[in-house]
Homo-oligomer: A and B are copies of this chain.
Amino acid sequence: MNKWYIEKGTEGDVVLSTRIRFARNLDDYPFPSKLDKKGKSEICALVRDALTGDGDSGFGYIDMNTLTPSQAVSLAERHLISPEFTTEREGRALLLTEDESVSIMVCEEDHIRLQVMKSGLSLNEAFDIADKIDNVLDSKLCYAFDERIGYLTQCPTNLGTAMRASVMLHLPALTATGKISGIASTVSKLGLTIRGAYGEGSSARGCIYQMSNRITLGITEQAALDNLSAITLQIAAQERAAQSLLLRNPAEEDKVFRAAGILKNARLLSGDEFMELISLVRMGTARGVFDFPLEKINELIVNMQPATINAAHGKNLEPSERDAIRAKGVREVLEIRC
């Protein structure tokens, strides 16, 4: 089965992906930070049985403790789990569909972190899928819910809808022109946050940013989705215009072609250089400079992350070995026509 990120999404030239995340907790248990090993195990079993008890649910169940560090970090690189979920794995579990579009972390910060990913800008579709799975869980488990506040969560910033909707944006031109900082401060006033691809504190490697709603209390899910969607469309339009303008500059156009030339020929590629160059090639592809499927570039960005390469090779590779494998992997995929 193809992974979700292989598909071409709406507004896909700028919007890599959409993610909806619900935080849920069970009424009868303390929050995970106050739970012992036995309590966590009970919750893992409860959630697993609620989802998979009726036969083929489409979910696989992974006891996080059974994974190697590379396998765990690879899941985080693919945004299927949070980086925090990789470090402490005792008493934690992951439910995952085969196409990796739906993942449920059990006993992360909250008892349940349900997440749905879709290619491109697809907030309502992702929400509908999350909502359906949430209804199944709700019918079998007793959620911690307050009529006045909404869903109760360990961290007060998630109280209410307990929904975090986010889009992953590729903004090379707004980054190159320095406009991104102005945009970040504007969207902040509109209740949104822009940060690096791997969340709080992470840098925007390859000019990939994550924009998400900050407000969960006193707002409906639909209002939050509509707000995020409208602002995403505006930023995408700005990015497109900035890309077109940038590529009319011969020196910038040259950079894009050189990036393709290096990626198609290098024998060693560090992760940082790969992200820098693939970002330029992705921009060229988005604006029609190259005749190449964007989805293949998106897939490459996922597959060429360090732990994902390690996991694919079943061992912890030396950085120099990984640089050679990355360069080979990139050459095999990129047959850009220009």
Instruction: Count chain B CB atoms within 10 A of each CB in A254, A257, A262, A265 and give the residue with the most.
Output: A265
Contacts of A264 in B (CB 8 A): 261, 265
Contacts of A253 in B (CB 8 A): 267
- Choice from B257, B263, B324, B327 contacting A266 with Cβ under 8 Å: B257
Contacts of A267 in B (CB 8 A): 250, 253-254, 257
A263 to B266, CA, bound (A): 13
A257 to B262, CA, bound (A): 8
Residue A220 lies at the interface, judged by CB distance under 8 Å to chain B = no
A2 to B250, CA, bound (A): 35
Instruction: Count chain B CB atoms within 10 A of each CB in A253, A266, A320, A338 and give the residue with the most.
Output: A266
A327 to B324, CA, bound (A): 28
Map CB proximity to B onto A318-329 as digits: 1 under 8 Å, 0 otherwise.
Answer: 001000100100
Residue A315 lies at the interface, judged by CB distance under 8 Å to chain B = no
19 other A-B residue contacts (CB within 8 Å) besides A258-B262, A258-B266, A264-B265: A250-B267, A250-B320, A250-B324, A253-B267, A254-B266, A254-B267, A254-B268, A257-B265, A257-B266, A257-B267, A258-B261, A258-B265, A260-B265, A261-B262, A261-B263, A261-B264, A261-B265, A261-B266, A265-B338
